[in-house]
A and B are shown apart, each in its own frame.
Chain A
């Protein structure tokens, strides 16, 4: 496996590359070939999408192809980037970028020249300059340094809390932890550091952008801390508020948002894929269906500063039809739009509604959309959609009165129109009569 070059890259379910903890996407181009004449085993990589990150060059096969494959060349392996020669020939052929990489092969170190052929219309000059920039920045070395100095495991949850030289806890070793005062001092110092980085972060947007990653790490750290202290907490309110804070912190945090700048022409497609990955957690929490408005808020909160417009979100959602993702956009007759997972079934909700309206109280007084929302744990607008769907399937029927709009279980099919007084045993109609007569004040 180690001999295989270039190594395969991991993809998410919707075909986006799985990024390393501190990796950020910088530029995306479409219709790109990767060529290498020097390696016989080099696969045929034709007209795919190439994503330049701070750590790697990721090549992904075209999205229309159902079997997405991807390879990645770590920038660390790049020895040299050849500057492109301005010649008459280069004006007529597709722009090319050549670079030399070294890799292990059969126990020895080999090097080869790989060519990126850009056939698409994307701005290749920006790509090339970003390529140079990232290669020189050596972001991967920072990661290594952190891991080495801390000497801890590399798991992202408990690993280094910051990057670069200005870590929050870099003074950890110098503080002497003796008794309660030691602990207090440590706490104090932690707060001062946190406070400082917060102040720095909010100085201006650029500073925030540069601090974004630290903020996310901080959020993650705080979440972990809350999680670990959970067992000790006894007060219910405290637990609830901690859970809430955890939720907030969880929703801070798309480290590498797809932006128009980085993705260019591929912006909506890539956004669509990132969105598909993002919605899965909130969808699970919401029970398989969530309104587009909710997702818009959550998604933008997670993106932090690179906000997207509602139009972009809708466009990204509508692109799901064309790519193979496990979620879909659904529009109800009333115009309410929701995002639901493809595995989500109306039957399940229908069964829950049926159970809900069969309870004695609901039999007598019916249920409103807000009752259903409470029981099903969803937004009232969506609960109403579910109820209307159930009505159109003949499970429910409505009651409009000065008291409001309520839904009852549909008894009409069970009533005999030949004999209005006939009540068959063991029918819902019989159960309903029982419930109504039992509760009626005498």
Chain B
């Protein structure tokens, strides 16, 4: 079976019509479904948070059969993810897409879990510490996209689980947990 890095590709990745946006409704819906699943799977295993439409993205071309997705097709598949709530456009021009292989709600739960596991219920951390600190090493939070992390933190703040405050130094924001 073909691989992309350490990612195992499904057989249909070598099926040329998979790379042409299908015009017939039923066929197209199934094609989009398969692309959505594959994009989420790939991003989850490769810890990819943002897909830039104008940059090379390994999944969007197949050198074995010499096919690659057109811009229109890329937009179609990512838009489908966006309307499912599994992705968000980062700009109005739809050039960068944030992939949410965990929904914001799920990320918030992961943060709470992390806080409880590490006994940080009442402590203070910086945002950067959550992304790259010792405690988060080996968890899903390691290297998390800052935009996603902030969105999850804000959601928790609204629920009163924590407070975000501007640090005295401008480089980072602080989090005060109160779980």
Identify the A interface with B (CB < 8 A): 366, 391-392, 394, 397-401, 403, 406, 408, 410-413, 415, 417, 420-421, 423, 429, 432-433, 436
Contact = CB atoms under 8 A, between A and B. Distances in A.
A311 B156 CA distance: 74
Contacts of A429: 11-12
B69 to A, nearest CB: 11
Mostly, the A contact residues are: mixed
A401 B16 contact: yes
A366 B16 contact: yes
Given A394-B24, A398-B22, A412-B30, 17 more contacts: A366-B16, A391-B24, A392-B24, A397-B20, A397-B22, A397-B24, A399-B17, A399-B67, A401-B19, A401-B66, A401-B67, A410-B27, A412-B34, A417-B37, A420-B10, A420-B34, A429-B11
B165 interface: no
A399 B67 CA distance: 9
Contacts of B34: 412, 415, 417, 420
B12 to A, nearest CB: 5
Contacts of A412: 17, 22, 27, 30-31, 34
A433 B30 contact: no
Nearest to B35: A417
Given A399-B20, A415-B34, A432 B15 contact: yes
Contacts of B38: 420
A411 B66 contact: no
Interface string B1-34: 0000000101110111101101110110011011
B41 interface: yes
Contact of B15 (A401, A408, A413, A423): A408
A432 B66 CA distance: 18
A433 B37 contact: no
Contacts of B37: 417, 420
Given A394-B24, A398-B22, A413-B30, A421 B16 contact: no
A397 B20 CA distance: 9
B10 A398 contact: no
Interface of B: 8, 10-12, 14-17, 19-20, 22-24, 26-27, 30-31, 33-34, 37-38, 41, 66-67
Contacts of A415: 10, 12, 30, 34
B13 to A, nearest CB: 9
A413 B31 CA distance: 9
Contact of B12 (A366, A398, A406, A411): A411
A411 B15 contact: yes
A433 B1 CA distance: 10
Contacts of B26: 394, 413
Closest 10 CB pairs of A and B: A399-B16, A412-B30, A420-B10, A397-B17, A417-B33, A399-B17, A400-B20, A433-B11, A408-B17, A399-B20
Contacts of A423: 11
A371 B169 CA distance: 70
Interface centre among B20, B23, B27, B33 (most CB of A within 10 A): B27
B9 to A, nearest CB: 9
Given A400-B20, A408-B16, A421 B8 contact: yes
Contacts of A410: 17, 27
20 contacts: A391-B24, A394-B26, A397-B17, A397-B20, A397-B24, A397-B27, A398-B22, A398-B23, A399-B20, A410-B17, A411-B12, A411-B17, A412-B30, A412-B31, A415-B10, A415-B34, A417-B34, A420-B34, A420-B37, A429-B12
Contacts of A408: 15-17
Contacts of A397: 17, 20, 22, 24, 27
Contact of B16 (A391, A406, A413, A433): A406
Nearest to B13: A420
A421 B11 CA distance: 7
A366 B17 CA distance: 9
Contacts of B8: 421
A421 B8 CA distance: 9
Contacts of A400: 20
Contacts of A391: 23-24, 27
Contacts of B30: 412-413, 415, 417
Contacts of B15: 408, 411, 432
A398 B14 contact: no
Contacts of A403: 66
Contact of A399 (B19, B33, B41): B19
Given A399-B20, A417-B33, A394 B41 contact: no
Contacts of B16: 366, 399, 401, 406, 408
Contacts of A401: 16, 19-20, 66-67
Contacts of B23: 391, 398
